[in-house]
Structure 1
């Protein structure tokens, strides 16, 4: 008796949870009816259950009401309240059983109160302590185990059958292995022939007359001619100092990158670098831009653009060249096109090329940052920097060319500061 009482108590507790605990959509629905009618929750459930019992027992549309209820409830759990959805295995068992019984509805509805029994069966799938869907799942797994074991046995037999074939193949490979030794014996022959031609060039055409008098030991002094060949090398180093001054000359232009300066042919096709002619690209004060992160909206992403290097550029001395150039990489890491402009506080001594542009999604671009020659003692270089101002363009903006109007009335304007350091 205690066991049966325990089972009943467990079932009643499950039902009470669905009536009073608002985490279940049924309790929330009953709560709305309670608020509207003023009745108690349990009384509302009894009224609804009585109406449903009368419809399923005496109505001619019991088939429609029962199947509609059995479809609407799981649909709400799957699409409207997914947090309360049962497991996929239990839903698979539920719909499989529902489809099989629905096909037989017309032949089984002759049983008295058939649709009430059908509804009770699907409630028992989840009502503790019965939880029929778990028992059905265990039965299915028990039936699948012998099939899996038989499949494993068949795979083992197949692997055992294929094993001797692999052994034979390895044996044939081993037997074939001794064949390679003969070729290495033939290889030393060409090796012996190689030194012969090496000996021929050694005498050189000059000592051709010497092979005739080998029997005469007196003619061994001819080796001094090679001694005469040794002096020619010393004159060779003499001409080397002459090209030496030519080497430093190319080194200077190699450090120069005039194509990256204003008006360079490879980047700006015509006109000067806009950083020289337009005040838009000048940072107005020392503090301009350093507090840019505070102006960024909370929903923005500080990694929309990726900069390499990330914080600073270092230029090595000497600084008396026409210009020194550092090529940095910028990448659009957002899901929108980006318009950018490079500003600086040391223009025209420090400039970037291209100074503006539009980056498509995922596009990478090389920007050349150039420092023109300057006198180390006459310039305050310690606060030099450049800043990338950029905005995210809306999806409906299809403009191909950059314009400063893109920065006006934009809530996505951001700034990245890159410091300039000099290594004397």
Structure 2
């Protein structure tokens, strides 16, 4: 498709795909009618669209026909044709918007041709290049990230407020218990000492008096020193506990960042990254290779799903050895897929694993890492990575990735992922 065709051609190609490509249930249904009536498929669609326009614009039952159609199509995709079902995020946005508008139907149907606009709105959710559900989902994700960051900040402030209080409470709790036990235990022997003294008083009068009277003064002198100095000396030693949270930070391995998932590095391939040594993985310019947006929808039908879909955002600081973002790729086609990750900022921005083969329905986590760099010395505004992938024929049983798979295939496709930095 030529670049001058623009967004209109993408929309038209998307509509033709749903009419002629038997991969979609709409094309199969229209094909059955065309075979039975002998009419052209596009003529059938025009007739159906004209009848639907008249019903929605002039019929008293436009409310029933519009809402029935908006419920029937997603129900067929979910329960009858699950292979063609959109993602769960897009369905959540679809039904949320549908419920909100349906509640206000009776008040909004005073607008001329309201149900035609309503039907067109839900079609635009999935028609390229608009794909409104992606923009809505990105806004929702940004709001969730802001809420999580605010919650983390509030938790940190709470912990900082509570730690000094606990230290003060322990200081006041330690000194009072030691003084009572020695004071209460010492008078007991003093009371018991006079009891035996009267019995042996006639003969060993001089013996008990010097022996039993001196013991009371030493315990009285020993009692005061242990309680006060012991807690006072221990209290300042307990104060250095607050800096303990500073210790886990240097314990983080320098090759990982705070954004790493637990055990994330164990899921990745070991050994040197081939992106550092092989020029095959380098994007040399903006026009290098090909772009999936320039491929007609007939050749780019979400065979491979990416999460996130458009860009990766790395937060400062950028002085860690590695800042890592784990993204998910999924084979959504009916064929095995061979892929390779390329970048225009290697070795500063690399992916691991940089290549591989995905079986039908397989999901894989790819770690995209940014090496530490000086913010003012790097031109980072055009950083990106690209997933080049091809559909493997059914007779290809190779289990290991080979570069010849790209050279021998006519179904080369690309998904560009932009790299953004948040200082």
Q: TM-score, normalised by structure 2?
A: 0.44
For the pair shown, the structure with the greater C-alpha radius of gyration is 1
Q: Taking CA–CA contacts closer than 8 Å with sequence separation of 6 or more, which of the two structures ends up with the larger relative contact order?
A: 2
Q: TM-score, normalised by structure 1?
A: 0.44
